[in-house]
Structure 1
């Protein structure tokens, strides 16, 4: 399981749309060979079809797709957007923190979500993520 490792984190990313933000988070997983290209496409298709259901808290999005869409290893990437962007979730927009999630089965999916939820339930941790200048700031959380 790869969870927010140095090569899976990018900060101050500039995007024009929610789809670009999803693409950035997915590309981190793709470049580390943790998912296949189809998985990134599936995350974007899911967003187009189902909307911003994965914007689970103020400023926080966790885009994902189904395991069969091309997950090689359970993993979570993180993209901090330079400027928050609207995903279309009235309660929790705009989003600044995007976590790309890839799980190859439902047990992994739940395990990754538990780890993320534990991290994000602490408002101090969310502040660290929002203000992070790089991996060095984020690794202090673990």
Structure 2
């Protein structure tokens, strides 16, 4: 499921100026694809301002997400932003991979988090993700684990 959701939604950037910009950039494919509204992007950023960097799920990897308030998620989706230069989140947590989740309902949200968690349990998978230089490499890696 995760590899299908990510197809066409993977981006690579050298760097960003802030963690807020990282979240905005990571959500761009979902915005362009009609999955989310700008309100969803604002909600994801607000969550970190209010709750701290809880979205940094393992060192180097963040999973920006928010509740689907006011129908800010039109359809479930996932995107990935890979940064060459890590960006610092609050509390000095450095991140270079952002998997942005958008779920229409709590069930879809849990399925996506479960798929992503099972992927990241494998230490070598995170290392291979960090070394990948193309969407094709990333999708093949995820498909091999799914």
TM-score (norm 1): 0.90
Say what the alpha-carbon RMSD is for the aligned residues.
1.5
Name the residue aligned to 2:46: 45
1:31 Cα offset (Å): 0.8
C-alpha distance in structure 1 between counterparts of 2:33 and 2:123, whole Å:
29
C-alpha distance in structure 2 between counterparts of 1:81 and 1:105, whole Å:
29
Name the residue aligned to 1:27: 28
C-alpha distance in structure 2 between counterparts of 1:89 and 1:32, whole Å:
32
For the residue of structure 2 that corresponds to 1:84, the secondary structure is strand
Name the residue aligned to 2:97: 97
C-alpha distance in structure 2 between counterparts of 1:127 and 1:96, whole Å:
12
1:12 Cα offset (Å): 3.1
CA offset digits 1:28-48 (Å, max 9, x no partner): 210111111211111111122
Could you tell which deviates more after superposition, 127-136 or 110-119? 127-136
Instruction: List structure 1 segments (4+ residues) > 2 angstroms apart after TM superposition.
Output: none
Name the residue aligned to 1:73: 75
Could you tell which deviates more after superposition, 104-113 or 11-20? 11-20
- Give structure 2 stretches of 5+ with no counterpart: none
CA offset digits 1:87-131 (Å, max 9, x no partner): 1245xx211110111011111111000010111111221112111
- Give structure 1 stretches of 5+ with no counterpart: none
Between Structure 1 and Structure 2, the one with more helix by share is 2
Does the aligned pair in 1 maintain the 2:53–2:89 contact within 8 Å? yes
Could you tell which deviates more after superposition, 56-65 or 118-127? 118-127
Does the aligned pair in 2 maintain the 1:68–1:104 contact within 8 Å? no
Pairs aligned (count):
139
Residue 144 of structure 2 is aligned to residue 140 of structure 1: no
